[in-house]
Amino acid sequence: MKVLAGNSNPALAAQIADYLGVRLTNASVKRFADEEVYVEIHENVRGEDAFVVQSTSFPANDHLLELLICVDALRRASARRITAVLPYFGYARQDRKTGGRTPISAKLVANLIEKAGADRVLTVDLHAGQIQGFFDIPTDNLYGGPVLVSDIKDNLGDRDLMVVSPDVGGVVRARYFAKRLDADLAIVDKRREQAGVSEVMNVIGDVDGRHCIIVDDIVDSAGTLCNAATALLDRGALSVSAYVSHGVLSGGAVKRVSESSLESLVVTDSIRATAEVENEPKIRQVPIASLLAEAIKRISTETSVSSLFD
């Protein structure tokens, strides 16, 4: 087995390799003077089961191109099988036409990964499960829920909890959390006038006197979370925390969380934390290296990945 790390999240890749008891593949993933990506693998990978660990997080286009070139380098070096491991799959929010003359970028990215030479894909909490169908190669979509549920039990298990979905589309995810926490479920009725801008309209469910936990797959601008937290507290919630799989946290998101009525925001380390995130006491990361490493081991040994969640 070979585990190759791109530049998007080298710490996570190192933790995965540690868990598997292997060392990271000796390779250079760097830039020419004009910022072209250059990849060189410094050891033999012929006939190996190769895994490229690379989130397509900010800067998304650079990291995506790094992934494609790493896969191409492995293919041309005669790796037996290449798995693209994307802890965070960028462009997933563009999974359908939202209007006239708009792209379906998630499908385009899936095509690029396949054409580069990947034999399979491993990712965590796709924005929409049907994106698996955009690939014509085997695709495993892991669930970060068990990791986050465990953290909730450890830190908030003594409270009277209410799980909240920030929109109607996230109800299935919220129901998963509510079932495992033996908690009730509420829904925020939200209208989004344009990308990145949302307005809370109503809260479905009685949150009065409850400790609310908002669960979602991606937090980007954090506008939805902060608006939802305010709406829940206005309706009598005692506290509001948020548990989210992928902390994109772009632009002024960290400042927005800091100034919001959220008690805490917990995200996985699928995306490398910036210095701003690390220095914000309200935001905390939980590790998912063991989840990804266990899935990689099962793929390599041809055993069941889905049984991880039984």
Closest among 288, 294, 307, 302 to 49, alpha carbons compared: 302
CA distances from 290 to 7, 295, 297 (A): 20, 9, 10
pTM (two decimals): 0.93
**Is 190 tagged catalytic?**
yes
Catalytic option among 190, 255, 282, 297: 190
Give me the pLDDT at residue 47, please: 98
Here the tokens at position 126 are 């796709």
What string of pLDDT tens digits covers the 310 residues of the chain? 999 999 999 999 999 999 999 999 999 999 999 999 999 999 999 999 999 999 999 999 999 999 999 999 999 999 999 999 999 999 999 999 988 999 999 999 999 999 999 999 999 999 998 999 999 999 999 999 999 999 999 999 999 999 999 988 899 999 999 999 999 999 998 766 665 555 666 899 999 999 999 999 999 999 889 999 999 999 999 999 999 999 999 999 999 999 999 999 999 999 999 999 999 999 999 999 999 999 999 999 999 999 998 7
Answer whether 183's CB lies under 8 Å from 163's CB. yes
Predicted pLDDT at 195 = 59
- At 168 the pLDDT is 86
Angular region, 202: left φ>0, alpha ψ -120 to 50, beta rest: beta
Which pLDDT score is estimated for 217? 95
Residues in the chain: 310
Domains and CATH numbers, the chain: 2-143+290-309 (3.40.50.2020), 145-287 (3.40.50.2020)
